[in-house]
Structure 1
Amino acid sequence: MAERGTAVRDVAALTVARIGRVEETGDRLLPFRLVDEHGDEEPAVTEFLRHMLADDASPASLRSYAYELLSWFRFLRAVGIPWFLASRLEARDFALWLKMSKKPARQRRADAPAPGSVNPVTGKATQGENYAARTRRHARAVVRSFYEYHREAHGRPLVNPFPKTRGVEGEHLNAHHNPMRPFRRPSRRASYQPKEPKPAPRSIPDQAFNELFAALTCHRNRALLAFYISTGARASELLGVRQGLVEPGEQVIGVVRKGSRALQRLPASADAFVWLRLYQQETLGLAPKGPDEPLWWTLRRPFRPLTYDAARMVFTKANAALGANWTLHDLRHSAAKRMVRDPDLTLADVQWVLGHAHITTTEIYTAPTPEEVIANVLAHHERQRAQRKRPPAPPAPGYRPEVLATLFGTAPTEGGSR
């Protein structure tokens, strides 16, 4: 650990102990809290989380922020600095530590692919050993907002360890945004902020989706997949559907949106409702029924509501049969790409279905995928080859072919060659 006031700290040799934890409380006024290694609550974090909840943040957001702050408090404990005395030096070294350190090792199957390897079927890379740029950007944003709250509420610390975006416009870049124009981005990144990765939605090709659907072994899973690909709903949104929100006659299903927590009716394909009916017929008299009961249940007794982890494991099993590594979220990307390709649907229609707050988010699906570009360019080469094989067009009336051949050097020579 470096002495206070010096600018050098050996981050590579730093040992950050995995102390403290995030607890789920069951309290609606504080669903999650951060405690230290002695089980004592961190009051500064609790106050910040209560502020977030009062500001209409969802419990999922509180959980995410609490875990990011847990990493920050663990780092500060390792360097021996109280949270209210953290400076730009700690912010810099925290960014370096996140960039260099490896994620906690998880128990992996013997046949699991190596971290960062590329799947030969999907072309997607598995998660690497280090923290991704998006994870590090989120951690920085969380810690910065934590300090901004305490600066505004209590006047300390005087300086936020993580500075705002550099440039004259700063954080008010889109304060008076014109909804008819795209959002502007700051000209320069903030200090210690990782570069923003280029968004690259990964959609499942139609043939691969058909193979994935064929690998499913029960009506429930087929119904889930059909609803995912036709509604574009997030995995957690679809799994949270109640039986009373299913309207086969109107061909819509009601989901609670992840961000706004608003109820939205989404249109779904007729096939999805057919598979749902077959699944409901199988569970008739077995799983609980009622408008407020969950729509999706486990297949084994005792019947329990289907969770995200259980749905992911079903998807993982189907992937294993194909040697692929598609994810549940890829289905949302695939649904968006299918809708964007339909000339009878506007981009605003797709934005509404996906629940995007800004149409600029939906616009990323208008970009062609690498597979589409390769197919289009190969088709271009084939058209060029076919065009070269066509016989030349006849000359215009009034021109003699042998004169044109002599003029352009295409007349055969005495030896028979051109």
Structure 2
Amino acid sequence: MTVSEQRPRDLSTLSVPLVGALLETEDPFMPYRLVDACGADVEPAAEYLRDLRATGCAVSTQRSYGMDLLRWFRFLWAVDVPWNRADRRDAADFSCWILHIDKPRRSKSRTSSALQAANAVTGKPVVGPKYAARTIAHSETVLRSFYDFHQEAGTGPILNPFPLARQRRAGRVHAHHNPMEQFRNEQVGLFRPKIPQRVPRCIPDDQFDRLFAALGSHRNRALVAFYVSTGARASELLGARRRDADPGRGLITVVRKGTREVQQLPASPDAFVWLRLYQQQLDTVVGPRWDQPLWWTTRRTPRPLTYHAARAVLVRAQAELGSNWTLHDLRHTAAYRMARDPQMPLTDVQWVMGHVRLSTTQLYLTPPVDAVVAGVLAHHARRQARPAPTAVAPQYQAESLADLFGQATL
């Protein structure tokens, strides 16, 4: 039976149980395991994740890829299709299904924010109940790579269920790209949704001052001060150890997320001031050991600070402000502040931010949203204050009227 002869699947009545899980392990060679409803390893996913680990992918990357595979296998289990028998019809149904379903709710207190388009304070979109376009696009890329891996190994289907777009099957993407032009946001995969281009948002100075004042401890102030002055990613700064901070030279050492390169980043003097105040409180609890983590929890038993705990710090501080800034917005803010300094070359900003391409750093030359809004409002105010033109009745010379109408006098 061909694909065209198969009956269409009714996705409106399809129920996909949340069976299986992605489990974190203590094995450094296999940080995550994908298991089915019975707790058994999903061997095709294990082989793919093992190959990712061999290529040097970060642990966070493996977790992200594993979650995409988990959603795909849950769908296949629900429609009763073996993973190596999936075809383009199944991939198309999965792409339609993930576009319209709601994300699994982690808690009952989490409410839907679909009716609110943007935060009233920051103007940033509120996270809705649906999967974002970038999440779906990432899932399509991972699943296409998963089947490409098994095609090369001879263990998967002959045809990839997630093929490239029709206009891109002849060769690789950007094969004849002009290096003097920007890359266009092209649709690479056949089932890949279009991703809207986002302009990075920075925190305005007045809102940042209110956010900083709402932080309740020296640790939180030191952490935010380092984020907004170094431009480091959240995981990079949280992975620093006490020996990595060098207040004498104003540097802090981090390990870059992608390349795993060790790099020293300049930080502001006030960041080291808040760090020293925090360390004086911490020394009485964990001791001044130079090889210990730099950031610790302050509630109950001290533990190294994780990303989710640092994110919760920012969420609690914004509860009364009504804003929804994130840790990554602090990185954007640092980049905007440096890029808008006329005495700082853009290549220096690229080095600090760890960007591979200068075109990525050039995004921060775009005026911030608050500056654009303020400029447009000032434009309207100037036009409103402009004096209204005086209405003057048109006057015609008598000689002209006489010549026109042939009258001697008017």
Classify the TM-score, shorter chain.
0.7 to 0.9
Q: 1:169 to 1:185 in 2, by over 3 A?
A: farther
Structure 1 residues 28-69: Cα deviation after superposition (integer angstroms, max 9, x where no partner):
211111111111111111111111111111111111111110
Query: In structure 1, how many angstroms separate the alpha carbons of the residues matched to 2:176 and 2:287?
Result: 50
Query: In structure 1, how many angstroms separate the alpha carbons of the residues matched to 2:29 and 2:105?
Result: 33
Number of corresponding residues? 388
Letter aligned with residue 161 of structure 1: P
Query: In structure 2, how many angstroms separate the alpha carbons of the residues matched to 1:211 and 1:222?
Result: 12
Determine if contact 2:187/2:193 at 8 Å carries over to the other structure: no
Match of 1:266, SS? strand
The answer for the alignment partner of 1:40 in structure 2 is 40
Determine if contact 1:232/1:331 at 8 Å carries over to the other structure: yes
Letter aligned with residue 127 of structure 1: V
Shift of 1:237: 1.3
The answer for the alignment partner of 1:246 in structure 2 is 245
Determine if contact 1:91/1:161 at 8 Å carries over to the other structure: yes
Letter aligned with residue 119 of structure 1: N
**Alignment pair present for 1:317 and 2:316:** yes
Letter aligned with residue 30 of structure 1: M
Q: 1:50 to 1:189 in 2, by over 3 A?
A: closer
Query: In structure 1, how many angstroms separate the alpha carbons of the residues matched to 2:29 and 2:5?
Result: 40
Query: In structure 2, how many angstroms separate the alpha carbons of the residues matched to 1:279 and 1:171?
Result: 55
Match of 1:172, SS? coil
**Alignment pair present for 1:89 and 2:89:** yes
Q: 1:265 to 1:5 in 2, by over 3 A?
A: farther
**Alignment pair present for 1:156 and 2:173:** no
**Alignment pair present for 1:60 and 2:67:** no
Shift of 1:119: 2.2
Determine if contact 2:314/2:326 at 8 Å carries over to the other structure: yes
Determine if contact 2:73/2:83 at 8 Å carries over to the other structure: yes
The answer for the alignment partner of 2:354 in structure 1 is 355
Letter aligned with residue 253 of structure 1: I
Flag structure 2 segments of 5+ consecutive residues without an equivalent.
Answer: 389-394, 397-410
Q: How does 1:300-311 map to 2 (within 5 A)?
A: 300-311=299-310
Query: In structure 2, how many angstroms separate the alpha carbons of the residues matched to 1:348 and 1:364?
Result: 13
Q: TM-score, length-normalised on structure 2?
A: 0.88
Q: 1:170 to 1:24 in 2, by over 3 A?
A: farther
The answer for the alignment partner of 2:392 in structure 1 is none
Match of 1:353, SS? helix
Letter aligned with residue 334 of structure 2: A
Match of 1:253, SS? strand
Query: In structure 1, how many angstroms separate the alpha carbons of the residues matched to 2:341 and 2:170?
Result: 39
Structure 1 residues 304-342: Cα deviation after superposition (integer angstroms, max 9, x where no partner):
111122212211111012122211111111111111111
Shift of 1:284: 2.5
Deviates more, 1:220-229 or 1:301-310: 301-310
Letter aligned with residue 138 of structure 2: H
Query: In structure 1, how many angstroms separate the alpha carbons of the residues matched to 2:107 and 2:234?
Result: 24
Q: 1:345 to 1:169 in 2, by over 3 A?
A: farther
Deviates more, 1:89-98 or 1:55-64: 55-64
Query: In structure 2, how many angstroms separate the alpha carbons of the residues matched to 1:94 and 1:127?
Result: 22
Letter aligned with residue 99 of structure 2: K
Q: 1:199 to 1:166 in 2, by over 3 A?
A: farther
Q: 1:386 to 1:130 in 2, by over 3 A?
A: closer
The answer for the alignment partner of 1:295 in structure 2 is 294
Structure 1 residues 360-409: Cα deviation after superposition (integer angstroms, max 9, x where no partner):
222222222332112223344556677869xxxxxxxxxxxxxxxx99xx
**Alignment pair present for 1:265 and 2:264:** yes
Determine if contact 1:7/1:89 at 8 Å carries over to the other structure: no
Shift of 1:169: 7.1
Shift of 1:258: 1.5
Structure 1 residues 96-128: Cα deviation after superposition (integer angstroms, max 9, x where no partner):
000111111232548x67345232211223211
Q: 1:171 to 1:383 in 2, by over 3 A?
A: farther
Q: 1:119 to 1:384 in 2, by over 3 A?
A: closer
The answer for the alignment partner of 2:129 in structure 1 is 129
Determine if contact 2:296/2:302 at 8 Å carries over to the other structure: yes
Deviates more, 1:200-209 or 1:277-286: 277-286
Determine if contact 2:112/2:129 at 8 Å carries over to the other structure: no
Letter aligned with residue 356 of structure 2: A
**Alignment pair present for 1:31 and 2:28:** no
The answer for the alignment partner of 2:234 in structure 1 is 235
Match of 1:255, SS? strand
Q: 1:239 to 1:115 in 2, by over 3 A?
A: farther
Query: In structure 1, how many angstroms separate the alpha carbons of the residues matched to 2:257 and 2:317?
Result: 26
Q: 1:186 to 1:309 in 2, by over 3 A?
A: closer
Query: In structure 2, how many angstroms separate the alpha carbons of the residues matched to 1:287 and 1:166?
Result: 59
Q: How does 1:3-402 map to 2 (within 5 A)?
A: 5-109=5-109, 114-115=113-114, 117=116, 118-154=118-154, 156-167=156-167, 172-174=172-174, 181-182=180-181, 184-185=183-184, 188-381=187-380
Deviates more, 1:146-155 or 1:10-19: 146-155
Match of 1:285, SS? helix
Letter aligned with residue 106 of structure 1: R
Flag structure 1 segments of 5+ consecutive residues without an equivalent.
Answer: 390-405, 408-418
Query: In structure 2, how many angstroms separate the alpha carbons of the residues matched to 1:324 and 1:367?
Result: 22
Deviates more, 1:364-373 or 1:49-58: 364-373
Structure 1 residues 279-300: Cα deviation after superposition (integer angstroms, max 9, x where no partner):
1122223223322210111123
Q: 1:114 to 1:381 in 2, by over 3 A?
A: closer
Query: In structure 2, how many angstroms separate the alpha carbons of the residues matched to 1:113 and 1:321?
Result: 20
Letter aligned with residue 192 of structure 1: F
Shift of 1:242: 0.5
Determine if contact 2:245/2:252 at 8 Å carries over to the other structure: yes
Letter aligned with residue 28 of structure 1: P
Query: In structure 1, how many angstroms separate the alpha carbons of the residues matched to 2:40 and 2:54?
Result: 23
Identical residues among aligned pairs (%): 49
Query: In structure 1, how many angstroms separate the alpha carbons of the residues matched to 2:34 and 2:379?
Result: 58
